Amino acid sequence: MSRDILIAPSILSADFSRIGEEVRAVDEAGADWIHLDVMDGHFVPNITFGPDIVRAIRKYSAKCFDTHLMIAPVDPFIEAFARAGADRIVVHAEATIHLDRTLQAIRALGVKAGVSLNPSTPEQSIAYVLDYIDLVLVMTVNPGFGGQKFIPAQLEKIRRIQAMIGDRDIRIQVDGGVTPETAPLVIAAGASVLVAGSAVFGRPPYAEAIAAIRSAQ
């Protein structure tokens, strides 16, 4: 299935002293989604922000708030992020014991659901929940920090996930080390949503940075 390529700048790499303005800036620069990396200092070795920040920046963009929860346990926080303005909540397969139940809880709140896989997690872990999601996020770095180098071994995982998806309406997203140089590789493997942090916020003007990634096919 051929899909348009969507660019989701990660505000993890934005200037947090003016985070609302940064969200508006990438929105106006052509971002398709706004990617929110939520980290807890437990599941990953970093702490970012919680639902109050999501609520505060919601007014700066009407675009999809693609909310990536790198937290464990994750279930107690799902409703708070949904109420704060998340349009999609992506949870890690590794962060919940009952993934099926977690995804049903997200959908019950009227929010789209996705699953993320760490680099060492096999794609088979999502085989039985594909009918509950609209997105699979493949981590192409180890989660926790921006600016890491792309892990090439994840390209084969993307290909295998694409085969698993078949004709389901599910997008594959990649997060980590996405640049104009790596974008063609993940797109060729089957990804259609590219999360870019430093490749956007670290390379102003943002419109040119986003266009460079989008055109690198």
Please report whether residue 88 resides in a domain: yes
- Reduced to 3 states, what is the DSSP secondary structure of residue 2? coil
Contact between 57 and 66 under an 8 Å Cβ cutoff? The reply is no
pLDDT at 2: 60
- Give residue 204's domain range: 6-214
CATH at residue 79:
3.20.20.70
Phi and psi at residue 87, to the nearest 5°: -90, -30
The distance of Cα 210 from the centroid of its chain, to the nearest Å, equals 16
Asked if residue 190 lies in contact with residue 162, where contact means CB atoms within 8 angstroms, the answer is yes
What total number of domains does the chain contain?
Answer: 1
In the prediction, which pLDDT does 216 show?
84
Paired tokens of 172: 């594959």
Could you give the CA distance from residue 72 to residue 145 in angstroms, rounded to a whole number?
17
Low-confidence ranges of the chain (pLDDT < 50): none
Give the number of other CB atoms < 10 A from CB of residue 141: 20
- Supply the pLDDT for residue 71: 97
Q: Which of 27, 32, 40, 175 is labelled catalytic?
A: 175
In a domain, residue 1? The reply is no
Q: How many CB atoms lie within 10 A of CB 206?
A: 20
**What integer pLDDT is reported at residue 65 of this predicted model?**
98
> Which of 27, 37, 40, 66 is labelled catalytic?
37
Three-state secondary structure call for residue 39 = strand
Active site residue 66: no
Residue whose entry in the numeric block shows the structure tokens 């920040």: 53
pTM confidence score: 0.96
Longest dimension (CA), the chain: 43
SS (H, E, C) 136-181: EEEECCCCCCCCCCCCCCHHHHHHHHHHHHCCCCCEEEEECCCCCC
Contacts (Cβ under 8 Å, ≥6 apart) of 17 = none
CA distance 145 to 80: 24
Which one, of 202, 173, 215, 216, lies nearest residue 22 by Cα?
202
* DSSP one-letter code for 40: B
Q: Is residue 45 part of a domain?
A: yes
